[in-house]
Amino acid sequence: MLKNILVTGGEGRFAKELKKIKNSYNFFFRNKRQLNILSLRSIEKNLKKFKPDAVLHLASLSRPMSVHEKNINLSIDLNIIGTSNLVKLCNKKKIKIIYLSTSYLYPGKKGNYKEDDPLLPWNNYGWSKLGAESSVQMYKNSLIIRACMTEKPFIHKHAFTNVKCNFIFHDEFIKIFLKVLNYKGIINIGGKSQTIYKFAKKYNKSIKKKKSKGELPLKINMSLNKVNKILKNESN
Protein backbone atom coordinates (compact mmCIF):
# COMPACT_ATOMS: atom_id res chain seq x y z
CA MET A 1 0.00 0.00 0.00
CA LEU A 2 1.24 3.45 -0.90
CA LYS A 3 1.81 6.07 1.77
CA ASN A 4 4.42 8.65 0.73
CA ILE A 5 3.94 10.17 -2.73
CA LEU A 6 6.19 12.72 -4.41
CA VAL A 7 4.26 15.08 -6.69
CA THR A 8 5.64 16.94 -9.71
CA GLY A 9 3.84 20.06 -10.89
CA GLY A 10 2.98 20.92 -7.30
CA GLU A 11 1.69 24.40 -8.12
CA GLY A 12 -0.57 23.40 -11.02
CA ARG A 13 -4.37 23.54 -11.15
CA PHE A 14 -4.87 19.89 -10.23
CA ALA A 15 -2.30 19.94 -7.42
CA LYS A 16 -3.97 22.97 -5.86
CA GLU A 17 -7.29 21.12 -5.73
CA LEU A 18 -5.63 17.95 -4.41
CA LYS A 19 -4.16 19.92 -1.51
CA LYS A 20 -7.67 20.93 -0.40
CA ILE A 21 -9.00 17.40 0.05
CA LYS A 22 -8.28 15.36 3.17
CA ASN A 23 -6.83 11.94 2.48
CA SER A 24 -4.65 9.21 3.99
CA TYR A 25 -1.59 9.83 1.81
CA ASN A 26 1.49 11.93 2.52
CA PHE A 27 1.88 14.04 -0.62
CA PHE A 28 5.11 15.96 -1.08
CA PHE A 29 4.32 18.73 -3.58
CA ARG A 30 7.26 20.09 -5.57
CA ASN A 31 7.15 22.98 -8.02
CA LYS A 32 9.29 23.25 -11.14
CA ARG A 33 12.05 25.11 -9.30
CA GLN A 34 12.27 22.42 -6.62
CA LEU A 35 11.98 19.49 -9.03
CA ASN A 36 13.07 20.03 -12.63
CA ILE A 37 11.87 17.05 -14.67
CA LEU A 38 14.38 17.88 -17.41
CA SER A 39 17.25 17.31 -14.97
CA LEU A 40 18.04 13.74 -13.93
CA ARG A 41 20.12 15.18 -11.11
CA SER A 42 17.18 17.20 -9.77
CA ILE A 43 14.86 14.19 -9.93
CA GLU A 44 17.37 11.93 -8.20
CA LYS A 45 17.96 14.53 -5.48
CA ASN A 46 14.21 14.64 -4.71
CA LEU A 47 13.86 10.86 -4.71
CA LYS A 48 16.73 10.61 -2.27
CA LYS A 49 15.31 13.33 -0.01
CA PHE A 50 11.68 12.11 0.20
CA LYS A 51 12.12 8.36 -0.37
CA PRO A 52 8.61 8.06 -1.84
CA ASP A 53 6.61 4.90 -2.44
CA ALA A 54 5.40 6.49 -5.68
CA VAL A 55 5.80 9.54 -7.89
CA LEU A 56 2.61 11.28 -9.01
CA HIS A 57 3.56 13.01 -12.25
CA LEU A 58 1.39 16.08 -12.82
CA ALA A 59 3.95 18.46 -14.37
CA SER A 60 3.16 18.99 -18.03
CA LEU A 61 2.50 21.56 -20.72
CA SER A 62 -1.21 21.81 -21.51
CA ARG A 63 -2.74 25.20 -22.26
CA PRO A 64 -3.06 26.97 -24.56
CA MET A 65 -3.43 24.06 -26.97
CA SER A 66 -1.88 26.18 -29.70
CA VAL A 67 1.51 26.10 -27.96
CA HIS A 68 1.89 22.45 -28.95
CA GLU A 69 1.56 23.44 -32.60
CA LYS A 70 3.70 26.59 -32.40
CA ASN A 71 6.48 25.27 -30.17
CA ILE A 72 6.81 21.52 -30.60
CA ASN A 73 10.28 21.50 -29.00
CA LEU A 74 8.84 22.78 -25.73
CA SER A 75 5.97 20.28 -25.93
CA ILE A 76 8.40 17.41 -26.55
CA ASP A 77 10.72 18.52 -23.75
CA LEU A 78 8.12 19.00 -21.02
CA ASN A 79 5.66 16.25 -21.87
CA ILE A 80 7.74 13.49 -23.44
CA ILE A 81 11.36 13.87 -22.31
CA GLY A 82 10.49 15.03 -18.79
CA THR A 83 8.20 12.04 -18.29
CA SER A 84 10.80 9.65 -19.72
CA ASN A 85 13.37 11.02 -17.27
CA LEU A 86 11.06 10.24 -14.36
CA VAL A 87 10.39 6.73 -15.66
CA LYS A 88 14.13 6.03 -15.97
CA LEU A 89 14.81 6.93 -12.36
CA CYS A 90 11.65 5.30 -10.98
CA ASN A 91 12.73 2.14 -12.77
CA LYS A 92 16.25 2.45 -11.35
CA LYS A 93 14.97 2.84 -7.80
CA LYS A 94 11.93 0.53 -8.15
CA ILE A 95 9.44 3.30 -7.35
CA LYS A 96 5.91 3.31 -8.73
CA ILE A 97 4.96 6.10 -11.14
CA ILE A 98 1.42 7.43 -11.46
CA TYR A 99 0.86 9.41 -14.64
CA LEU A 100 -2.06 11.74 -15.30
CA SER A 101 -2.87 11.38 -18.99
CA THR A 102 -5.84 12.50 -21.08
CA SER A 103 -8.86 11.33 -23.03
CA TYR A 104 -7.42 13.28 -25.98
CA LEU A 105 -5.48 10.12 -26.91
CA TYR A 106 -8.65 8.49 -28.26
CA PRO A 107 -9.59 9.16 -31.92
CA GLY A 108 -12.97 10.71 -31.10
CA LYS A 109 -14.92 9.01 -33.87
CA LYS A 110 -16.96 6.25 -32.19
CA GLY A 111 -17.03 7.18 -28.49
CA ASN A 112 -17.30 4.92 -25.44
CA TYR A 113 -13.57 4.19 -25.63
CA LYS A 114 -12.19 1.42 -23.43
CA GLU A 115 -8.67 1.47 -22.03
CA ASP A 116 -7.45 -1.12 -24.56
CA ASP A 117 -8.97 0.54 -27.62
CA PRO A 118 -6.58 1.77 -30.35
CA LEU A 119 -5.23 5.28 -29.80
CA LEU A 120 -4.96 8.04 -32.37
CA PRO A 121 -4.51 11.58 -31.00
CA TRP A 122 -6.06 14.38 -33.04
CA ASN A 123 -3.77 17.25 -32.03
CA ASN A 124 -0.17 17.77 -30.95
CA TYR A 125 -1.12 17.96 -27.28
CA GLY A 126 -2.53 14.44 -27.56
CA TRP A 127 0.58 13.24 -29.39
CA SER A 128 2.81 14.68 -26.66
CA LYS A 129 0.79 12.89 -23.98
CA LEU A 130 0.90 9.64 -25.95
CA GLY A 131 4.67 10.00 -26.23
CA ALA A 132 4.83 10.36 -22.46
CA GLU A 133 2.48 7.41 -21.94
CA SER A 134 4.67 5.22 -24.13
CA SER A 135 7.57 5.49 -21.72
CA VAL A 136 5.32 4.94 -18.69
CA GLN A 137 3.79 1.82 -20.26
CA MET A 138 7.26 0.32 -20.69
CA TYR A 139 7.56 0.34 -16.87
CA LYS A 140 5.18 -2.18 -15.33
CA ASN A 141 5.15 -0.63 -11.85
CA SER A 142 2.94 2.17 -13.10
CA LEU A 143 -0.59 3.54 -13.19
CA ILE A 144 -1.86 5.65 -16.09
CA ILE A 145 -5.05 7.60 -15.59
CA ARG A 146 -6.72 8.91 -18.73
CA ALA A 147 -8.68 11.86 -17.44
CA CYS A 148 -11.48 14.09 -18.68
CA MET A 149 -11.89 16.93 -16.19
CA THR A 150 -12.24 20.69 -15.99
CA GLU A 151 -12.13 23.56 -13.51
CA LYS A 152 -15.02 24.74 -11.39
CA PRO A 153 -16.72 26.99 -12.33
CA PHE A 154 -16.91 26.21 -16.05
CA ILE A 155 -14.80 29.06 -17.42
CA HIS A 156 -15.95 29.20 -21.04
CA LYS A 157 -18.75 31.40 -22.40
CA HIS A 158 -19.73 28.87 -25.07
CA ALA A 159 -20.10 25.08 -24.99
CA PHE A 160 -20.31 22.58 -27.82
CA THR A 161 -23.72 21.00 -28.37
CA ASN A 162 -22.38 18.29 -30.68
CA VAL A 163 -19.30 17.11 -28.75
CA LYS A 164 -19.76 14.26 -26.28
CA CYS A 165 -17.22 13.72 -23.50
CA ASN A 166 -16.92 12.84 -19.77
CA PHE A 167 -16.31 16.19 -18.13
CA ILE A 168 -16.10 16.15 -14.35
CA PHE A 169 -14.90 18.90 -12.02
CA HIS A 170 -11.52 18.54 -10.33
CA ASP A 171 -12.91 18.07 -6.82
CA GLU A 172 -15.19 15.19 -7.87
CA PHE A 173 -12.44 13.66 -9.98
CA ILE A 174 -10.04 13.64 -7.03
CA LYS A 175 -12.47 11.66 -4.86
CA ILE A 176 -12.32 8.86 -7.45
CA PHE A 177 -8.63 9.32 -8.15
CA LEU A 178 -7.66 8.75 -4.49
CA LYS A 179 -9.41 5.37 -4.49
CA VAL A 180 -7.43 3.89 -7.39
CA LEU A 181 -3.83 4.90 -6.60
CA ASN A 182 -2.84 1.41 -5.46
CA TYR A 183 -3.84 -0.12 -8.79
CA LYS A 184 -1.63 -0.59 -11.85
CA GLY A 185 -2.30 -0.42 -15.57
CA ILE A 186 -4.56 2.09 -17.33
CA ILE A 187 -7.83 3.51 -15.98
CA ASN A 188 -10.26 5.95 -17.58
CA ILE A 189 -11.71 8.45 -15.11
CA GLY A 190 -14.37 11.03 -15.87
CA GLY A 191 -18.01 11.89 -15.38
CA LYS A 192 -21.23 11.01 -17.16
CA SER A 193 -21.07 10.76 -20.96
CA GLN A 194 -22.90 13.82 -22.29
CA THR A 195 -22.41 16.83 -24.52
CA ILE A 196 -20.22 19.62 -23.20
CA TYR A 197 -23.19 22.00 -23.41
CA LYS A 198 -25.41 19.72 -21.32
CA PHE A 199 -22.66 19.44 -18.68
CA ALA A 200 -21.99 23.19 -18.59
CA LYS A 201 -25.69 24.20 -18.60
CA LYS A 202 -26.19 22.58 -15.19
CA TYR A 203 -23.76 25.02 -13.60
CA ASN A 204 -24.08 28.07 -15.85
CA LYS A 205 -27.59 28.82 -17.09
CA SER A 206 -26.31 31.62 -19.32
CA ILE A 207 -23.88 29.42 -21.26
CA LYS A 208 -24.24 29.86 -25.01
CA LYS A 209 -24.52 27.08 -27.57
CA LYS A 210 -21.82 26.41 -30.13
CA LYS A 211 -21.15 23.65 -32.64
CA SER A 212 -17.73 22.16 -33.16
CA LYS A 213 -16.56 22.57 -36.74
CA GLY A 214 -13.37 20.62 -36.28
CA GLU A 215 -12.11 22.21 -33.06
CA LEU A 216 -12.88 18.96 -31.21
CA PRO A 217 -13.86 15.48 -32.44
CA LEU A 218 -17.53 14.74 -31.83
CA LYS A 219 -17.26 11.56 -29.74
CA ILE A 220 -14.39 11.68 -27.26
CA ASN A 221 -16.35 10.07 -24.43
CA MET A 222 -14.80 7.10 -22.64
CA SER A 223 -16.14 3.89 -21.15
CA LEU A 224 -15.99 4.03 -17.34
CA ASN A 225 -16.81 0.36 -16.77
CA LYS A 226 -13.35 -0.44 -15.42
CA VAL A 227 -13.20 2.35 -12.85
CA ASN A 228 -16.81 1.73 -11.79
CA LYS A 229 -15.95 -1.93 -11.15
CA ILE A 230 -12.94 -0.87 -9.06
CA LEU A 231 -15.04 1.57 -7.04
CA LYS A 232 -17.63 -1.14 -6.43
CA ASN A 233 -14.94 -3.51 -5.16
CA GLU A 234 -13.46 -0.77 -2.94
CA SER A 235 -16.84 -0.15 -1.32
CA ASN A 236 -17.42 -3.83 -0.45
Domains within the chain, CATH numbers bracketed: 4-151+166-191 (3.40.50.720)
By the 8 A CB rule, do 74 and 60 touch?
no
Chain segment 173-218, per-residue pLDDT in tens:
999 999 999 999 999 999 999 999 999 999 999 999 999 998 999 9
Where are the alpha helices (H) located in the chain, listed in sequence order?
A: 13-20, 40-50, 67-70, 72-75, 82-93, 124-138, 170-177, 196-201, 225-235
Q: Indicate the burial class of 112 (C-beta count within 10 angstroms; 0-12, 13-18, 19 or more).
A: middle
DSSP-derived letter for residue 207 is P
Give residue 87's pLDDT band: very low, low, confident or very high (50, 70, 90).
very high
Where on the phi/psi map is residue 210: left (φ > 0), alpha (ψ -120 to 50), or beta?
beta
Give residue 105's pLDDT band: very low, low, confident or very high (50, 70, 90).
very high
pTM summary value: 0.96
The pLDDT value recorded for residue 43 is 98
Find, among 215, 232, 230, 234, the residue nearest to 165 by Cα: 215
How many percent of the chain have pLDDT more than 90? 92
* 3-state DSSP percent of the chain in helix, strand and coil, to 5: 35, 20, 45
